[in-house]
Amino acid sequence: MTLWGGRFAEPSDADLRALNDSIDFDKRMYAEDIAGSIAYARAIANAGIITAAEAATLVEGLRQVLAEFEAGTFVLQVADEDIHTAVERRLTELVGAVGGKLHTGRSRNDQVATDFRLWVAGAIDRTDALLRALQEALIAKAEPNLETLMPGYTHVQPAQPITVAHWLMSFFWMLARDRSRLQDAKRRLLVSPLGAGALAGTPFAVDRAALAAELGFTSVSQNSLDAVSDRDFAAELLFCLALAGTHLSRLAEDVIFYSNPLFGFITLNDRYSTGSSLMPQKRNADPMELARGKAGRLIGRLTGFLTTLKGLPSTYNKDLQEDKESVFDSVDTLDRLLPVIIAIVDTLNLNPDRMRAALGEDMLATDMADYLVRKGLPFRQAHHVVGQVVRLAAQEGVVMSALPLERLQALSPLFSDDVQSVFDFGASVARRQAVGGTAPEAVRVQIEAARAWLGAQ
């Protein structure tokens, strides 16, 4: 039996049911639905709507329903349109007609909004824990590589030498922002809609604040029309996950590049590489390509759901049922992706010799300009002079350090013997000591700041 069959002379069409029913996916919220109902049964008893004995019967019955879900013995019936219907149907089978009192003053509209908020709060905690594990993996890989040099790129063109630790830690801070966004979204979503009824509020004297507190909410909604249709929390979560996915995609892109034999900076562990069915030599970074690909999917879920929301009239509309598959899919996507990314970072083999060999003297051109600046030349002129040095070396087919001093002095009299000190990649890196720079000393401080950030979570 449906929850709403009384006014219809005919049962609903099977195709309509296939379209309308949400039980296939919203059964994931059984624990939240039952927790909400247990709290609600107590609240309506406190309001004098049912007796304490009836509430106890309902609570006991709901616990049995929960046990069946947990044991995998809950049997779905064809008429179970959604998780709310299924739980109430089974409860009534177990406890009899008193089961029909549970829904007094409540609507599936405030019920689903409550359940889903609780589910999203739990999902935020799980995703947050995975992101934290990735941050820890990055620190663990970075710390032994404070002095390991590698080329830094802008526009994918050789730019300046950096350290591997600095490269790895750059992703730590992206994830820190992702996590703080998730935690912020969680704070904002802990507003209880329960008691909003279908749209207009409940006519019964339910203590909404106590009900909210029992479920772990920090406040109650102030407008019932808004409460039954507010899905900002779902949209926020989808955005947080899409942006986290975008960060993972960028890490993936670096790993894909750096594991290409032309770079050869890193080798993926065998367990996290894939081969080709045709080309025996292949070692592909499929999981990283999937990370890059999944970012598109996460962004799609966000834009899809925002599009669902944008034209909705006030209060609950069935379009809102689209919230769950979007959110479940995005959460599941990161649930599958993050453990693999964490393991890839953990097991990443670095090839410092290849990184070192990829450092070209051109990447010290800025240091040469800074050398002239220290001798008093305005930076803009120094930039121009060193540009001429680079061109001269290219014309002569030699590296800059092989140019005779006189040739340099012809371009600027400020050059002297000590110019050779510029051609030292380690020294170039070590000079970048200001907070946030790539110098080993600065990155050590950065890692301390990262640990402090983790400690404050």
User: Which residues of the shown chain bind ligand ARG in the complex (CB under 6 A)?
Assistant: 22, 26, 82, 108-109, 112, 316, 318, 320-321
Compute the distance between CA of residue 328 and CA of residue 178 in angstroms, rounded to an integer.
18
As measured in angstroms, the least distance from the Cβ of 28 to ligand ARG is 12
CA distances from 55 to 5, 49, 98, 276 (A): 26, 10, 9, 62
Please choose, from the candidates 143, 141, 131, 138, the residue with its C-alpha nearest in 3D space to the C-alpha of residue 176.
131
Residue with tokens 């069946």: 68
As measured in angstroms, the least distance from the Cβ of 456 to ligand ARG is 37
Q: Are strands 219-220 and 191-192 parallel, antiparallel or unpaired?
A: parallel
Compute the distance between CA of residue 441 and CA of residue 213 in angstroms, rounded to an integer.
48
Question: Which of 12, 229, 276, 330 is an active site residue?
Answer: 276
Tokens representing 386 are 């060193």
Q: E strand or H helix at 231, and its extent?
A: none
Among this protein's residues, is 155 annotated catalytic? yes
Nearer Cβ to ligand ARG (108/117): 108
As measured in angstroms, the least distance from the Cβ of 236 to ligand ARG is 18
Nearer Cβ to ligand ARG (25/423): 25
Measure the CA dihedral 256/262/263/266, to 10°: 60
Burial, 253: exposed, middle or buried (Cβ in 10 Å; 0-12, 13-18, 19+)?
A: middle
Residue with tokens 């979570």: 457
Compute the distance between CA of residue 248 and CA of residue 235 in angstroms, rounded to an integer.
20
As measured in angstroms, the least distance from the Cβ of 436 to ligand ARG is 46
Q: E strand or H helix at 154, and its extent?
A: strand 149-154
As measured in angstroms, the least distance from the Cβ of 95 to ligand ARG is 23
Please choose, from the candidates 423, 424, 444, 426, the residue with its C-alpha nearest in 3D space to the C-alpha of residue 435.
444
Nearer Cβ to ligand ARG (90/108): 108
Residue with tokens 């689903």: 112
Distance, CA of 407 to chain centre: 54
Nearer Cβ to ligand ARG (127/229): 229
As measured in angstroms, the least distance from the Cβ of 347 to ligand ARG is 41
Nearer Cβ to ligand ARG (87/368): 87
Nearer Cβ to ligand ARG (192/249): 192
As measured in angstroms, the least distance from the Cβ of 83 to ligand ARG is 8
Please choose, from the candidates 265, 294, 258, the residue with its C-alpha nearest in 3D space to the C-alpha of residue 356.
265
Question: Which of 12, 84, 107, 155 is an active site residue?
Answer: 155
Compute the distance between CA of residue 423 and CA of residue 362 in angstroms, rounded to an integer.
10
Nearer Cβ to ligand ARG (183/321): 321
The 3-state DSSP class for residue 33 equals: helix
Nearer Cβ to ligand ARG (7/318): 318
Write the single-letter amino acid at 24: D
Go through the chain and tell me how many residues it has. 457
Strands (E), 172-310: 191-192, 219-220, 266-267
274 pairs with which residues across the strands? 284
As measured in angstroms, the least distance from the Cβ of 110 to ligand ARG is 9
User: In this structure, what are the phi and psi dihedrals at residue 291, rounded to the nearest 5 degrees?
Assistant: -60, -45
Give the residue numbers annotated as catalytic, written as ranges: 155, 276
